[in-house]
Amino acid sequence: MGLLNKLKEKLSKTKQSIVEKIEGIVPAGGKIDEKTIEEVEEILILSDIGVKATEEITDILRKKFKENAIRDVTDIKTLLKKELIELLQNNTSLNLKASPSVILVVGVNGVGKTTTIGKLGYKFSSEGKRVVFAAADTFRAAAIEQLEVWAIRVGADVIKHKSGSDPAAVAFDALEYAKSNNKDVVIIDTAGRLHTKVPLMEELRKINKVIKKSISDAPHETLLILDATTGQNALRQATFFNEAVGLTGVVVTKLDGTAKGGVVFAIKKEIGIPIKLIGIGEDLDDLKDFNPEEFVEALFD
């Protein structure tokens, strides 16, 4: 199965919440009016696309409608597709120019952070890169063991300390190890933390500072893992983590099990952070580089 076909399958619930509802507003060949635009606006809001993106898109729809440039639902879909692709455009590729490249991974509890790190390690190893996992989640007892299992599975090295150790020290040792052993990528796991807990967010800032003592321009990526099923709550998480550590990108997981995939548009529009990767299933290769055109195409095709 090609990637586009797989995306179509995995994003079917999001497609139902956006495109298929829009298709149901007016019968085939039926004419649209101002009420149609209002209904489209409501659908976009309810599908977690977000207030800012929805207002921008519906303003364009109204303008085109007044200019008689939109006559039916097909015209609406064509314009929506174009605007949503443009909204998502940004640097969606990972910054892996340094050697070693350092990726700091953050997020709240239960979003699939360690699993995502494992899949990311698999992706890099499959590309011939030498990967190091830093087990800096020293708070959760099983976190280190879980990361070790993933390391064996994907062929990565693990740098760890005992449970309860200083997470920043683990990160520092992992970077020193990577430099000494010519590794390509270091992925730093961190403990899941509520974005509203100030001391835990301060701990992330400390990890960031210690990383720079080893490699001055690191981390090269600071990725927030977000669970798509949380919908608009993901925006609050992104805001807090961005203020704490300066996010460079977002990984949206569990897109295959939710109708709330519209949140990727809200994150980009309201926070300004690019989506870099998406998780669309349980398999090792179900963590995909984010491609705006393919993502939107899968919704509308």
Give the separation between CA 42 and CA 56, rounded to whole angstroms: 13
Partner residues linked to 224 by β-bridges = 106, 250
What DSSP character marks residue 141? T
Quick one: CA dihedral 82, 256, 194, 277, positive or negative?
negative
Helices (H) and strands (E) in the chain, counts: 12, 8
Give the number of residues written for the chain: 301
Quickly state the pLDDT bin for 111 (edges 50, 70, 90). Answer: confident
Give the per-residue pLDDT at 29.
Answer: 63
- Can you tell me the distance from the alpha carbon of 198 to that of 259, in angstroms, rounded to the nearest whole number? 32
- pLDDT in the model for residue 41: 94
Residue 5, pLDDT > 90, answer no
Q: Are 196 and 87 in contact (CB under 8 A)?
A: no
Q: CB neighbours of 103 closer than 8 A, spacing ≥ 6? A: 94, 120, 185, 186, 187, 188, 219, 220, 221, 222, 223
Q: How confident is the model at residue 109 (pLDDT cuts 50, 70, 90)?
A: confident
> What residue segments make up the domains of the chain, in order of their start?
3-88, 101-300
Distance CA 285, CA 228 (A): 18
Pairing assessment for the beta strands 287-289 and 275-279 based on DSSP bridges: antiparallel
Spatial distance between the Cα atoms of 221 and 94, rounded to a whole number of angstroms: 7
| pLDDT at residue number 2 | 63
Q: CATH: 3.40.50.620, 3.40.50.150, 3.40.50.720, 1.20.120.140. Which one for 3-88? A: 1.20.120.140
pLDDT at 197: 65
The string of pLDDT tens digits covering residues 64-108 is 999 999 888 889 999 999 999 999 988 789 999 999 999 999 999
What is the SS3 assignment for 89-137? Answer: CCCCCCCCCCCCEEEEEECCCCCCHHHHHHHHHHHHHHCCCCEEEEEEC
Residue 63 phi, psi (nearest 5): -60, -45
Q: 26 pLDDT exceeds 90?
A: no
Is 166 a residue whose pLDDT tops 60? yes
State the pLDDT confidence band at 181, using cuts at 50, 70 and 90.
Answer: very high
27 has a pLDDT exceeding 70: no
DSSP state, residue 142? T
Name which of 105, 102, 169, 170 is nearest 131 in CA terms: 102
Segment among 15-29, 159-173, 269-283 with least mean pLDDT? 15-29
Can you give the pLDDT at residue 177? Answer: 98
Q: Which CATH class is domain 101-300?
A: alpha beta
pLDDT at residue 262 tops 80: yes
User: Which of 14-23, 42-51, 186-195 comes out lowest in average pLDDT?
Assistant: 186-195
Element of type H or E holding 253:
strand 249-253
DSSP 257: G
pLDDT beyond 60 at 195 = no
What's the mean pLDDT in 173-186? 98
pTM of the model: 0.92
Whole-number average pLDDT of the chain: 91
